[in-house]
Structure 1
Amino acid sequence: MTESMFQKALHGRSAHVDTALIFDGLDWQSAGKKPEHCPHSVWELLYHMNYWQDFMLGYLKGDVVKAPDHPEESWPADPMPESRKSWEYGVERFLQGLKEAEQEAGKDLAEAGFSRPDRTRGDLLMVMINHNSYHAGQVITTRSLIGTWPPQNDYEV
């Protein structure tokens, strides 16, 4: 894949709604609603997406990152954000992470040595693309179930 292809894939271009737009128009109280028979609230999904996006970006930056001891560590304790401020911070953190991933896509995608000798920058970006796309679908499904999808914007869904 080329730089341009990775950058488009980070946003779901030609596959699904732009990943950067899936939280648009959602207030913090609605983000904490967990529909019946639905495993996660939108807040929980955002928290989890940020956790792993930050994790992968840490590898790409050369940080020493440690995988969680238990999968539940990548999920918040509460389905509801603490406040409007924590919700807005979470969304901004996600969007900033997407921008950082786009910058990483502009570097040598074949560069190896991230977390293990054979893992490339492109490999880590692909993990991030797949993970975010999977959970973006869950966000939209959850938002549909709580009556907040589509948002009132004019973009194509």
Structure 2
Amino acid sequence: MENNELLISELKTLLNGGGAHVGLKDAIEGLPFNLLGEKPFKLPYSIWQLVEHIRIAQWDMLEFSKDGNHKSPKWPDEYWPKASEPKDEQEWHNCLIQIDEDLEAFLELIESSDLYQEIPNGNGQSILREAFQIADHNAYHIAEIVIIRRLMDVWKS
């Protein structure tokens, strides 16, 4: 396997939640819908807000990677939902679908792009840098989801 193929393979594993941390699917598996808006122990975010934030940020990094002219949402206001819970199960479902679809699109992008080339109109960012950014950002917030589930005593044993 040549070096670039190995790097792409490792990036895919990392972006899918492999290695040292769980992925989003595992972090939310079996989570009751009625607990999505809970903020135990006065934590600042609910699981819904964390998952929706992951969706928005990942979408933004994908779009920026595809088009250096992409206009990002206003930080931090437009990266975090105001509501602590989704309005209904359809909104939750749609959020999860977009996360999956955007991640799949980003995985396709890393396979078809020069990982090291600077993204036009960026500040030195590359697809490789954005891949690490998505993986790091998602892992951070997924860990918060696991902690919230543990505090609510609804984490897998």
- Do these two structures clear the TM 0.5 threshold for a shared fold by scoring above it? yes
Residues paired across the two proteins, number: 151
1:64-123 per-position Cα deviation (integer Å, ceiling 9, x unaligned):
322333413211111011001111111121122221222122132112224426221101
CA distance in 2 between partners of 1:35 and 1:111 (Å): 44
* TM-score w.r.t. length of structure 1: 0.86
Task: For 1:115 and 1:128, locate their aligned partners in 2 and report how far apart those are by CA, in whole Å.
Answer: 19
Alignment of 1:129 onto 2:127? no
1:55 aligns with 2:60: yes
The one-letter code matched in structure 1 to 2:21 is H
Structure 2: 5+ residue stretches without partners: none
- Of residues 100, 104, 110, the one that matches 1:99 is 104
Code of the residue aligned with 2:87 in structure 1: it is E
- Report the residue type matching 1:123 in the other structure: R
CA separation in 2, counterparts of 1:55 and 1:112?
A: 17
Q: Give yes or no for the alignment of 1:33 onto 2:50.
A: no
Q: Distance in 1 between matches of 2:144 and 2:120?
A: 29
| Structure 2 counterpart of 1:138 | 144
Q: TM-score, normalised by structure 2?
A: 0.86
Output the aligned Cα RMSD: 1.9
SS across alignment from 2:58: helix
- Return 5+ residue gaps in structure 1 as ranges: 152-157
Closer, same or farther: CA 114–138 of 1 in aligned 2, 3 Å: farther
Looking at structure 2, the residues matched to 27 and 38 of structure 1 have their Cα atoms a distance apart, in angstroms, of 19
Return the alpha-carbon distance in structure 2 between the equivalents of residues 72 and 117 of structure 1: 22
Identity among equivalent positions (%) equals 25
Give the CA deviation at 1:12. 2.8
> Offset at 1:63?
6.2
Cα distance per residue 1:8-65 (max 9 Å; x no partner): 1102322111234222222322111111231211000011111100000101221632
Given that 1:114 and 1:120 are in contact with CA atoms closer than 8 Å, whether structure 2 keeps it comes out as no
Higher helix content, 1 or 2: 2
Matches within 5 A, 1:77-116: 77-107=82-112, 108-116=114-122
